[in-house]
Structure 1
Amino acid sequence: MGFEESHHLFIERHSGLRTGERKGRLLRGHQYAERLFLQNVWWPLFESLDHLHPEYEVYDWNRKSQFLDFAFLPPNGVRFGMECDGYQSHVKDMDREKFSYALNRDTFLTGMGWGMLHFSFDDIQQRPEVCMMLLQMALAPYLAGRPAVIELGAEEKDVLRLAWQLGTPIRPKDVTEQLRMNFRTARKLLDSLCSKSLMQPVGKGERTRYYEVKAMRQGQIW
């Protein structure tokens, strides 16, 4: 099933589950920018809209209703909110009060266990590969196509971030130089990330010299 048909069924399904203002918000709020995010960024990575909720209702510290452009709620309990921000509506036309509220809302949701991700409309439209890279980087440490969240130590997270930042296959030597640890520890961390399906060895031969972040595959995260 291609994106067009999947998107149509996606909106139809969520619309059918809602009534009143929640349904109206979906029909009014899910417009060009949000659809383009799914088409240019989300779909090329996952080829699925499973566990994604458009115009998802949340509440702030005063129990005031707000709507996120998207909420990603997989079965393992991870919660990510995603916003598609246009310059005109989210910056140029925002007064000081609205600006402060937007920051406080994100901080409140973060405190409540949400991971908040923001993507500019210009990047979604003109540089979707940047959005894809950042989205994949944000989700990778938490999800790996398994029913439970993968447990990562602080050093493993540092190695994974380094691999993303470099953007090329890395060597244990790169880890030792950048993160200031010994060679044996660097290789142990890289092998551990491979065992958790977050990285994979590169090249041929008996001894692995390079490692890279494992690419996402259709129907799974990692």
Structure 2
Amino acid sequence: MGFVEEHQRWLEYHKKRRAGERLDRLDRGHRHGEQMFVERVWWPIFGNLDELHPEYEVADWRGRPYFVDFVWKPGQVKFAIEIKGYGPHVQNTDRTRYRQELNRETYLQIAGYRVIAIPYDDLESAPEQTISLLKALLTPCLLKTRSEGSGQLSRIERDMLHMASRKNGMIRPVDVVKGLGIDPRTVKKNLNSLCDKGKLTPVLMQGGNRICRYELVPSIMDNELW
């Protein structure tokens, strides 16, 4: 299913489960900026809209309803994603409203959300930058969340994948030996295991047959790994 069809199905799914102000907010709130984010950033990363909730209602510190542009809850972690336009958020002359917005973001973090602010201008001119940043932010969290329940990876293997994700997707055996404090033979065994499972791929030295490093196989949609 392509993006247009999936986006429409996703919206209808959420609309059928809402009424009153919650439904009206979805109709009013999911507009150009939010749709650009879903199409130009979220869809290229994930290829689906699973666990992504548009115009998600939460209570602020006063108990009043507040709608976050998107909330994503893939398990133990939860993210609040806000699309920030320059005019409404920077040039806002209503100081009380601006102050309340900042307080809400702080309260969301107190409530256990990780808050992500997405510049509207980047969605128009540089969505690839937002994609790169989101991947760097989300991958380590989801590696931990999904792999803990999978039983498919050992603790050492998970630690190696976390290390690779922090190092721009590349890892050397010497990095693992130093970083995890384990002997080279164990490192080699687990690197080979991760290659067999399709999580890493070996990279040979230029003009030679010796492996110089391992690269993380893109797996942001791999539920077994996450």
What is the TM-score of this pair, normalised by structure 2?
Answer: 0.76
Q: Which amino acid is the alignment partner of residue 50 of structure 2?
A: D
CA displacement at 1:161 relative to structure 2: 6.3
Cα 1:210–1:59, aligned 2, differ >3 Å: closer, same or farther? same
Distance 2:142 2:179 in 1: 28
Which residue number corresponds to residue 211 of structure 1? 214
Distance 1:14 1:114 in 2: 21
Percent identical residues: 34
Cα 1:94–1:58, aligned 2, differ >3 Å: closer, same or farther? farther
What value does the CA root-mean-square deviation take over the aligned residues?
A: 3.6
Which residue number corresponds to residue 58 of structure 1? 58
Distance 1:90 1:72 in 2: 22
CA displacement at 1:136 relative to structure 2: 1.2
CA displacement at 1:58 relative to structure 2: 0.7
**Offset from partner CA, 1:95-131 (integer Å, 9 cap, x none):** 4333332222222211221111111111112111111
Distance 1:38 1:91 in 2: 23
Distance 2:170 2:164 in 1: 11
Q: Which amino acid is the alignment partner of residue 32 of structure 1?
A: H
Deviates more, 1:12-21 or 1:129-138: 129-138
CA displacement at 1:135 relative to structure 2: 1.1
Cα 1:147–1:202, aligned 2, differ >3 Å: closer, same or farther? closer
Cα 1:85–1:183, aligned 2, differ >3 Å: closer, same or farther? closer
Distance 1:92 1:9 in 2: 36
Deviates more, 1:205-214 or 1:121-130: 205-214
Q: 1:185 aligns with which of 181, 190, 193?
A: 181
> 5+ residue gaps in structure 1?
none
Which residue number corresponds to residue 67 of structure 1? 67
Cα 1:112–1:125, aligned 2, differ >3 Å: closer, same or farther? same
Residues 203 and 215 of structure 2 are in contact (CA less than 8 Å); yes or no, is this contact kept in structure 1?
Answer: no
Cα 1:14–1:184, aligned 2, differ >3 Å: closer, same or farther? closer
Which residue number corresponds to residue 97 of structure 2? 98
Distance 1:62 1:22 in 2: 19
Distance 1:157 1:94 in 2: 46
Q: Which amino acid is the alignment partner of residue 39 of structure 1?
A: E
Q: Secondary structure at the match of 2:167?
A: helix
Please give the residue correspondences for 1:15-30 in structure 2 after superposition, counting only pairs within 5 Å: 15-30=15-30
CA displacement at 1:26 relative to structure 2: 0.1
Larger Rg: 2
Note if 1:135 corresponds to 2:139.
no
Residues 142 and 149 of structure 1 are in contact (CA less than 8 Å); yes or no, is this contact kept in structure 2?
Answer: no
Q: Which amino acid is the alignment partner of residue 122 of structure 1?
A: D
Cα 1:110–1:199, aligned 2, differ >3 Å: closer, same or farther? farther
Q: 1:163 aligns with which of 167, 174, 181?
A: 167
Cα 1:152–1:139, aligned 2, differ >3 Å: closer, same or farther? farther
> 5+ residue gaps in structure 2?
none
Distance 1:129 1:26 in 2: 26
Residues 170 and 210 of structure 1 are in contact (CA less than 8 Å); yes or no, is this contact kept in structure 2?
Answer: yes
**Offset from partner CA, 1:125-165 (integer Å, 9 cap, x none):** 21111111111111111213837579999x9798456413x
Q: Which runs of 4+ in 1 moved over 4 A?
A: 147-153, 155-158, 186-192, 204-208, 217-222
Residues 45 and 132 of structure 1 are in contact (CA less than 8 Å); yes or no, is this contact kept in structure 2?
Answer: yes
